[in-house]
Each structure stands twice: as structure tokens, then as C-alpha cells.
């Protein structure tokens, strides 16, 4: 997997989880999405784990606060 592939997959997960437009994905965060609540946070985590076949621990879950942090964390987990 390369960075572009991973980024595209995460963008799709964000679109599906938070029901947002393409142009809003890269700046999406807990602070600016009304529907980024605890339930959708868990939905995003489960979708990430399933899509990339990885396990996120509690420290990882806490770090996921915006699109950029998700992308970085997944890249690190996949060692890209």
C-alpha cells in the first residue's frame, strides 16, 4: 500500500462515517463536525480496523481527532 491508496481509503471512511463532502474531508476534525460524536468516533475506529486489518489500542483511539491524525496513525501502523 502506498500513501495515496491509504489516503483515498481514509477519505472514503470519513465520507461514509460523517456524511461529509469531498472538499471538507482534509479539514475534518472533532472540533468542526457536528456529527463527530462518541458513536461516530467508534464507527470510524471500527471502519479503520476493518479496512486496514489493524488493531487500534486506547492510546491510538485518543489520538484520532482529525483527518490528518488518522492518516498519520494509519501510515505508522502500516509502516509506509
Phi, psi angle pair for 44, to nearest 5°: -65, -45
| Structure confidence by residue, pLDDT tens digits, 56-79 | 999 999 999 999 999 999 999 998
In the chain, where are the structural domains located? 3-78
CATH 1.10.1200.10 fits 3-78, yes or no: yes
Beta bridge partners of 29: 66
* Single pTM value for the model: 0.92
pLDDT of residue 45: 97
Which of 27, 57, 35, 33 is closest to 45 using CA atoms? 57
**Cell numbers of 3, please?**
500513501
Lowest mean pLDDT among 1-5, 7-11, 13-17, 76-80: 76-80
Q: Give the whole-angstrom CA distance, residue 40 versus residue 68.
A: 17
Amino acid at each position: 500500500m502506498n500513501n495515496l491508496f491509504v489516503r483515498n481509503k481514509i477519505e472514503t471512511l470519513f465520507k461514509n462515517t460523517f456524511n461529509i463532502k469531498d472538499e471538507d474531508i482534509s479539514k475534518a476534525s472533532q472540533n468542526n463536525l457536528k456529527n463527530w460524536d462518541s458513536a461516530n468516533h467508534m464507527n470510524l475506529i471500527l471502519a479503520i480496523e476493518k479496512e486496514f486489518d489493524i488493531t487500534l489500542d486506547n492510546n491510538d483511539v485518543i489520538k484520532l481527532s482529525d483527518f490528518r491524525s488518522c492518516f498519520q496513525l494509519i501510515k505508522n501502523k502500516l509502516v509506509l
